[in-house]
Amino acid sequence: MFNVVMQLSLLFISLSMLGLIYRLIKGPSVPDRVVALDAIGINLVAIIAIVSIILRTSAFLEVILLIGILAFIGTVAFSKYLEKGVIIESDRDL
């Protein structure tokens, strides 16, 4: 019973990732694609959590925090590039 629930939630998260991949490919503007990539990262976190429940291990819990941090840094870098055209400025006060 428990395993069936876990596999069902895996299935539904994969379906929502399919929708996000559609937005990633089709999305008319670049910010659409950036938001889709960010949400795919968060869905990946959910998938890793459920897989680690199914495998009955706590070895993947670091990966969850890691993907959260990396998705945040990546999204910040993308949005800064879209807004300013540079990712790392040399001097902000110029």
Partner 1 sequence: MKTNDIILQTVTKITVFVIILFSIHLFFAGHYYPGGGFVGGLMTSGAIVLLLLAFDMKTVANVLPIDYKHLIGLGLLFAVGTGLGGLLFDVPFLTHAFTSVNLPLLGETSLHTAVLFDTGVFLVVIGVTMTIIQTIGEDE
Q: Indicate which single residue of 2, 4, 56, 83 sits in contact with partner 1 (rule: CB under 8 A).
A: 83
What φ, ψ does residue 62 adopt, rounded to 5°? Answer: -65, -35
Interface with partner 1, residue 77, by CB under 8 A? yes
Interface with partner 1, residue 91, by CB under 8 A? yes
Least gap, CB of 58 to partner 1 (angstroms):
9
Taken as a whole, the chain contains a residue count of 94
Tokens of 47: 């998938």
Pure H helices in the chain: 2-26, 30-54, 61-84
Interface with partner 1, residue 73, by CB under 8 A? yes
Interface with partner 1, residue 18, by CB under 8 A? no
Alpha-carbon separation of residue 78 from 32, 60, 93 (angstroms): 12, 27, 22
Binding site for partner 1 (CB under 8 A): 59, 62-63, 65-66, 69-70, 72-73, 76-77, 80, 83-84, 87-92
